[in-house]
Homo-oligomer: A and B are copies of this chain.
Amino acid sequence: MPTPASPRPARTRNPRGEGGRLRDDIMAAATELLDESGESSVTLRSVARRAGVAAPSIYRHFPDQPSIMLAVVQQAFAMLDAELRTAMDAAGSDARGRLFAFCNAYLDFADQHPGRYRTMFGGAWMPDLGSSSVTEGDVSSLGAESLTLLADTLDDCVRAGCATSSDPVADAVALWLGLHGLAHQRLVTVAFPWPADIAERLITTLAHLNDA
């Protein structure tokens, strides 16, 4: 019997200046719920329960429910970007290796945080844009830095002679979309006729990598 909305009532009040610590706890609670049970289960009240807090206490830190979601998504994009950069740094200096490190880290992120990934790229959490405090500008540029990083990496591959792309920026977008298609479909569909090497095939083809 899994505790569906386990309340964590033991919670010591925060001292004077550090009331903002609850903000982090709220976001952590929302992220947990997102990963466990999906977007629709992240309600203001369930987040409050999980954080061990009364529901109205959340309004000290977030103006409404959608802005919790926005904060979680923004944090998730920042985490994705950080993981991508970490993986690339660990891959050394070989351009081709760095490109694969990026792609594999991207796919791993989606595999390990399915709820978050679906919400980041699913878009269903976006409010009516007018009935809440979340504006279009808040969401329009999510993931842009990571995409730029991919474009730069692909450009490095071209310079190093291991990829033949006449337009690395456009091909980076294509590769980004291919990765997204694979990651998203993987999360959604349980039974799918996946060839074993589908990821490598997709990456190699879209990046126009040499056979060598």
A169-B201 Cα distance, complex, nearest whole Å: 12
Asked whether B124 lies within 8 Å of A187 as measured between CB atoms, the reply is no
List of B residues within 8 angstroms of A62 by Cβ: none
Identify whether the interface residues of A are mostly helix, strand, loop, or mixed: helix
Instruction: Please tell me how many copies of the chain the complex holds.
Output: 2
Q: A118-B122, A140-B191, A177-B198 are in contact. List 7 more A-B contacts (CB 8 A).
A: A40-B124, A121-B188, A167-B195, A174-B205, A178-B202, A181-B184, A205-B208
A136-B188 Cα distance, complex, nearest whole Å: 12
A123/B187 contact (C-beta < 8 A), A167-B195, A198-B170 known: yes
Chain A interface residues (CB < 8 Å from chain B): 38-40, 118, 121-124, 136, 140-141, 147, 167, 169-171, 173-174, 177-182, 184-185, 187-191, 193-195, 197-198, 201-202, 205-206, 208
Q: How far is the CB of A130 from chain B (nearest CB, A)?
A: 13
A39/B191 contact (C-beta < 8 A), A198-B177, A202-B178 known: no
Asked whether B195 lies within 8 Å of A185 as measured between CB atoms, the reply is no
Asked whether B173 lies within 8 Å of A195 as measured between CB atoms, the reply is yes
A177/B170 contact (C-beta < 8 A), A121-B188, A206-B206 known: no
A180/B184 contact (C-beta < 8 A), A118-B124, A124-B118 known: yes
List of B residues within 8 angstroms of A188 by Cβ: 121-123
List of B residues within 8 angstroms of A190 by Cβ: 136, 140
Asked whether A169 lies within 8 Å of B195 as measured between CB atoms, the reply is yes
Q: Which 8 A-B pairs have the closest CB atoms?
A: A181-B181, A123-B188, A177-B181, A170-B195, A180-B181, A140-B191, A178-B178, A177-B182
13 contacts between A and B (CB under 8 A): A118-B122, A118-B124, A122-B188, A123-B189, A124-B124, A140-B189, A141-B191, A147-B193, A173-B198, A174-B178, A177-B202, A180-B184, A205-B206
A185/B178 contact (C-beta < 8 A), A167-B195, A195-B169 known: no
Asked whether B191 lies within 8 Å of A174 as measured between CB atoms, the reply is no
